Structure 1
């Protein structure tokens, strides 16, 4: 009989990789995601043996995986919301392994579908994982009437990526990097014209959903931080400066629907890059996709050409594009503000010079999925 369950949490999209969380998160973060209607996963174990994994899906749906004695996922039960406080089991699927019926490991067997023994249950409030205990019996794990839940999730860490060492990205001189010694060389990339009062930071090939910052109309200098190693020269960071006043504080540049409280330790919301390129431009600037190869991507393919300007016509805003560090991924965008809240500058950090937090955080210095 199962009289207690150990409870831990993780990112939902990693739970398919096995019976453990490849990306564990603290219970407080999972609770915030639950309240925000976001996805996450709950692992229920007994004596260090995984018994079930519950995934919280969008729109109130849940998926429950049950594990066999070899800690393999043996059964998958899908639930849909029934009213406001119940879940209806709509599919009960046996998952086969590679040595059964010629199916791939973890694949669905159409012949393995059967009715859900417990047709419905209460939709769990966060932490109310008792609702899934009766389903453990399908794998031979009979729970007692009241199962004790033990929170064994990881502790709350330092939180999202912090803006440390941003100013130093543009200070010339030697640096130690994961690839060996290097030298930082600041470089002028031209003057950016803002006419609408909104700066946009985006991949020039995907300009429909940029990160924006309110700034006064005007022309502002763009500076690149070039990181020179024995093998190459890469853009380590890019900055557009609006005021001569040094920033009093730095903040992550967020979209209106983004909440740093919903991301894990060392993670961030950043500019997504799919063309190996990032651009500073006015938020109203339009980009002709058919001209990007000739006017942006091809010129930036030369080793000695880290940036390129697309001029505006007349008084229209221009665009300054630059190569994105090692290439595609997601990179943090920081807004430096004065004591009275004005935007002094905006910086894109391509994370070639890791901070202490990035060095100490599991996962290293790679781009965040956020």
Structure 2
């Protein structure tokens, strides 16, 4: 599967849009310039509606190992999991849609309002190496983002093998032959995809804001450093407010 659907996507750094700062920082690098949308994780559905943000509760992602992958699963299916892990379990994913586009996606691990935020990094990445305007994130080349457990990638490979066995003379494409039908149920915007019907492990797949690009992911932590939320910002809105177009897209 890795060889079949993978495209060239090996970026680690990308210039980030500059937004208004929030009260969060990392040593030598200002996380507040990476996103102004952290308040999404603290507002109620009613408050978000008042800001012209539609909330979509997708359902739970099953994390069998607690090692989380956020990626364009078609363009970079072998992307490593984040360095920070969570307790295995089932966690709800929420999408924030503005003017028909998915502006952000979150996964919640515990209740409560965040005390501080940090950039989600892969093993070996260090925010101390980032310069002003740089950020770690993941590249999108198929217009999709996702949350899944690292173990679920093997299930995707198993599903592809099943489809290939049914079509031995065809060139199987995971999007066309497997994923598209799930996405079409929600007009192509999102899907809670289970690669193998009788096995635990699923994927929250969703359209990525403006489409192809490079997008950061952030951890919301409580005062003791325990993860509350994982948030992907697709740079569709600013200041957690969908009532006006952002200054920089």
The TM-score, its normalising length taken from structure 2, stands at 0.68
Q: Is contact 1:158–1:266 with CA below 8 Å preserved after alignment?
A: no
CA–CA distance in structure 2, aligned partners of residues 322 and 292 of structure 1 = 13
Cα deviation, 1:81-117, whole Å, max 9, x if unaligned, reads xxxxxxxxxxxxxxxxxxxxxxxxxxxxxxxxxxxxx
How far the C-alpha of 1:261 sits from its partner, in A, is 3.1
CA–CA distance in structure 1, aligned partners of residues 79 and 190 of structure 2 = 22
Unaligned 5+ residue runs, structure 2? Answer: 1-14, 16-27, 161-172, 241-246
Q: Is contact 2:182–2:192 with CA below 8 Å preserved after alignment?
A: no
Residues 328 and 210 (structure 1), Cα distance of their counterparts in 2 relative to 1, 3 Å cut: farther
How far the C-alpha of 1:335 sits from its partner, in A, is 0.7
Unaligned 5+ residue runs, structure 1? Answer: 1-22, 24-156, 176-182, 357-363
How far the C-alpha of 1:268 sits from its partner, in A, is 1.2
How far the C-alpha of 1:198 sits from its partner, in A, is 1.2
CA–CA distance in structure 2, aligned partners of residues 310 and 163 of structure 1 = 28
1:190 aligns with 2:59: yes
Pairs aligned (count): 193
CA–CA distance in structure 2, aligned partners of residues 341 and 268 of structure 1 = 21
Partner in structure 2 of residue 295 of structure 1: 178
Q: Which has the larger radius of gyration?
A: 1
Q: Is contact 2:107–2:230 with CA below 8 Å preserved after alignment?
A: yes
Runs of 4+ in structure 1 off by over 4 angstroms are 157-160
Cα deviation, 1:309-330, whole Å, max 9, x if unaligned, reads 2214434211110000010111
Q: Is contact 1:222–1:240 with CA below 8 Å preserved after alignment?
A: yes
How far the C-alpha of 1:291 sits from its partner, in A, is 2.6
Partner in structure 1 of residue 189 of structure 2: 306
Partner in structure 2 of residue 164 of structure 1: 36
> Which of these residues, 220, 230, 252, is aligned with residue 91 of structure 2?
220
CA–CA distance in structure 1, aligned partners of residues 139 and 81 of structure 2 = 10
How far the C-alpha of 1:334 sits from its partner, in A, is 0.5
Q: 5 Å matches for 1:99-248?
A: 159=30, 161-168=33-40, 171-173=47-49, 175=51, 183-205=52-74, 206-212=76-82, 213-228=84-99, 233-248=100-115
CA–CA distance in structure 1, aligned partners of residues 202 and 39 of structure 2 = 26
The TM-score, its normalising length taken from structure 1, stands at 0.47
Q: 5 Å matches for 1:67-106?
A: none
CA–CA distance in structure 1, aligned partners of residues 93 and 203 of structure 2 = 11
Partner in structure 1 of residue 126 of structure 2: 259
Partner in structure 2 of residue 277 of structure 1: 144
Q: Secondary structure at the match of 1:292?
A: helix
How far the C-alpha of 1:191 sits from its partner, in A, is 1.0
Instruction: Pick 1 or 2: higher relative contact order, CA cutoff 8 A, min separation 6.
Output: 2
Q: Root-mean-square deviation (CA), in Å?
A: 2.7
Give the strand-richer structure, 1 or 2: 1
CA–CA distance in structure 1, aligned partners of residues 199 and 106 of structure 2 = 23
Q: Secondary structure at the match of 1:245?
A: coil
1:323 aligns with 2:217: no
